Amino acid sequence: MQYKSSLCNTGNITTKNDEKDVKANLSRLFAIAQFKATISTITLSTTTIARFLSPLLDRIIDICSGFLFRLLFGTMQQRILRRTSFGGSTSSLRRSSISSKDIQAIQMALMKQHLSTEVILCLLIALPIFSFFYLFVIYQNQGSLASAMSALLTRPFVLALLPPLFDIVAWKFTIVFFSLQLIFHWVLPHDTVYLLRSSGDVRKSVNGFSSCLLLCLLYVMGSGLGMYRHDLVFIHFSSIIMCLAIVCVATFIFMMITYRCGDYYNVTTISEFCFGVELNPSVLDIDIKHFVRSRVTLVLWPLFIISALYYQRNMYGKMTRGLIGCSFVQMVYIIKYHWTEYLALNSLDYKCANCGFYKLWSDMVLFPVLYCSPIAVIAQTQKSISLITCCVLTVAAIFLICLTTVIDKQKYEFRRSKGVIKIHGVDPFFITAKYKNDHGDTSANLLLGSGYWSISRHPNYICEAATFAVFSAFQGPATLASHLPAIFIAGFLFVRLWNDEMRCLAKYGQCWIQYCNKVPFRILPGIY
């Protein structure tokens, strides 16, 4: 009887355990079903919202454009007749005293101008070292250069500098991150944008805004369901950068193999290795240069911001005003980039810079480290600023972001309409600059000299540099290393400005000299 009783008790226990297992499995299945339904709803909602808000935001930008121009530069605006011919006009420009032969000699010298092999080798060596050193200073030593140097002296340099390579969590994140980006690139609905060319506009499909928004929502939702920690990206950021560095090197090796096996391109010099030989390399219909910039740099950044907010709340119990303000304006900057992706695709950098090791490493490793460093310093040190200072910096950052967008959009709309457009109610002034394309045929581009582009030749660069300076100011009084990203971005844009100037002089010759006479200042009117 006792034996039978024990069997019955065992059966009851087994039945109860089975019931618990069944209930647990049903709960998991229900949670998975809810998760799938939520993903479908978010995807549909994201696409619908984007399409609904697009004309509204464009209208707001147009209104802000006129208002900002009248507010800032109303006294400087000049009403100049529009010029539509290839030749000169009697009242438009004063002729340069440089002869045509001198211009041709300058053009030939600029076309032959290249960096020396020694300089390029130093750049290739310094770029990875600087990337990992700054990563070590910011994320392991909270921006303290002295602390970083003392730590490097007590341990072997390479072992102390390089992040952990075999971080399983970082590798899982990297694999899932790239997998989702590829899936979203192929599956999500695309918007059609136009790449403006003198030979004819090129259609390109993009869905960066929907992809970025959906990935951020999935990250928050997954952490909320307990699938991983909320601050996963922040904690494992150094190892994630190491994973991206390996992916960068592997991608470049793959490109070298395809060049070696192909017939169109071949890398023969150290300059071609560093700066690339192909403008837009593609694999499986994916533009590698655009994919890395739009889907890696500008999506990892918002994920880091979200993770940093969770990190400071979990670690210290609250979020400081500086972190909230800096996170908000950087999110606005990222949303602006993805919303106006067509402006980035029509920039000189995208149109002219080849995709080499320098470009891949900068966008996949260096820029994520620099862009995220102000947030990292504030999140780790709990540095806070006064409420008034935070509000002033927030307003200044949003103003600069909007102004940069309006400036870029003004040139885009002008070139898309082939000059047949009014800028602030008047016909624009422009120069039709002839040049020889790669096939030796004569083409022409329009150089805008009205609106914001009558103030200086690169007004968008000063606004971009000022935006990152405001991002850095949210840290308050900090070490020089903490403010290095703002200094680096300003120097980077200055170098790009000189490259643009030299490229345009070599390309347009006399027409560029005339344009410089019309718009004499490079960045700041009356100063430089």
In sequence order, what DSSP letters do the residues of 351-409 get, joined into one string? HH---SHHHHHIIIIIHHHHHHHHHHHHHHH-----HHHHHHHHHHHHHHHHHHHHHHH
Question: How far is residue 41's CA from residue 363's CA, in Å, rounded to a whole number?
Answer: 32
DSSP letter assigned to residue 269: S
DSSP letter assigned to residue 75: T
The 10s digit of each residue's pLDDT in 509-526 is 888 888 898 888 888 887
The neighbour count for residue 349, using CB atoms within 10 Å, is 13
Surface-to-core class of residue 12, CB atoms within 10 Å of its CB (0-12 exposed, 13-18 middle, 19+ buried): exposed
Q: How confident is the model at residue 368 (pLDDT cuts 50, 70, 90)?
A: very high
The answer on pLDDT for 371 being more than 90 is: yes
Taking alpha carbons only, the member of 297, 423, 402 closest to residue 340 is 402
The neighbour count for residue 188, using CB atoms within 10 Å, is 16
pLDDT the model gives residue 81: 37
Q: In this structure, which amino acid lies at residue 67?
A: F
pTM of the model: 0.81
Phi (first) and psi of residue 205, to 5 degrees:
-95, 130
Q: In this structure, which amino acid lies at residue 476?
A: G
Contact 212, 301 (CB under 8 A): no
pLDDT the model gives residue 200: 78
Contact 466, 444 (CB under 8 A): no
Contact 446, 418 (CB under 8 A): yes
The mean per-residue pLDDT over the stretch 449-468 comes to 91
pLDDT the model gives residue 83: 41
Q: Which residue has the higher pLDDT, 144 or 158?
A: 144
Q: In this structure, which amino acid lies at residue 162?
A: L
pLDDT the model gives residue 305: 96
Highest average pLDDT, of 7-16, 254-263, 488-497, 499-508, comes from 488-497
* Cα angle: 83, vertex 84, 86; to 5 degrees: 105
pLDDT the model gives residue 69: 45
Distant-in-sequence, close-in-space partners of 235: CB < 8 Å, separation ≥ 6: 229, 307, 311
The mean per-residue pLDDT over the stretch 494-502 comes to 88
Q: Which residue has the higher pLDDT, 90 or 353?
A: 353
The neighbour count for residue 393, using CB atoms within 10 Å, is 21
DSSP letter assigned to residue 438: T
The answer on pLDDT for 109 being more than 80 is: no
Taking alpha carbons only, the member of 145, 131, 125, 124 closest to residue 488 is 131
Q: How confident is the model at residue 91 (pLDDT cuts 50, 70, 90)?
A: very low
DSSP strand pairing (430-436 vs 202-206): unpaired
Q: How confident is the model at residue 153 (pLDDT cuts 50, 70, 90)?
A: confident
The answer on pLDDT for 501 being more than 90 is: no
Question: How far is residue 8's CA from residue 381's CA, in Å, rounded to a whole number?
Answer: 62
Q: 3-state DSSP helix/strand/coil percent for the chain, to nearest 5?
A: 70, 5, 25
What does the mean pLDDT of the chain come to? 80
The 10s digit of each residue's pLDDT in 200-251 is 788 888 999 999 999 999 999 999 898 999 999 999 999 999 999 999 999 9
Question: How far is residue 208's CA from residue 220's CA, in Å, rounded to a whole number?
Answer: 18
Contact 131, 364 (CB under 8 A): no
The mean per-residue pLDDT over the stretch 107-124 comes to 72
The answer on pLDDT for 72 being more than 60 is: no
Radius of gyration of the chain from Cα atoms? 27
Q: What is the dihedral of CA 6, 7, 9, 10, to 10 degrees?
A: 120
pLDDT the model gives residue 48: 47
Question: How far is residue 434's CA from residue 159's CA, in Å, rounded to a whole number?
Answer: 55
pLDDT the model gives residue 144: 82
Contact 374, 472 (CB under 8 A): yes
CA distances, 230 to each of 27, 74, 376 (Å) = 23, 48, 15
Q: Coil, helix or strand for 415?
A: helix
pLDDT the model gives residue 76: 40
The answer on pLDDT for 165 being more than 80 is: yes
* Cα angle: 194, vertex 433, 424; to 5 degrees: 65
pLDDT the model gives residue 85: 38
Q: In this structure, which amino acid lies at residue 61?
A: I
Copy the structure tokens of residue 422: 């009014």
Q: In this structure, which amino acid lies at residue 176?
A: V
pLDDT the model gives residue 341: 92
pLDDT the model gives residue 238: 93
Distant-in-sequence, close-in-space partners of 444: CB < 8 Å, separation ≥ 6: 86, 198, 432, 433, 434, 435
The answer on pLDDT for 308 being more than 80 is: yes
Taking alpha carbons only, the member of 106, 152, 150, 105 closest to residue 132 is 152
Taking alpha carbons only, the member of 360, 235, 236 closest to residue 293 is 360
The answer on pLDDT for 173 being more than 90 is: yes
- In terms of DSSP H, where are the helices of 442-483? 459-473
* Largest CA-CA distance found in the chain, in angstroms, rounded: 119
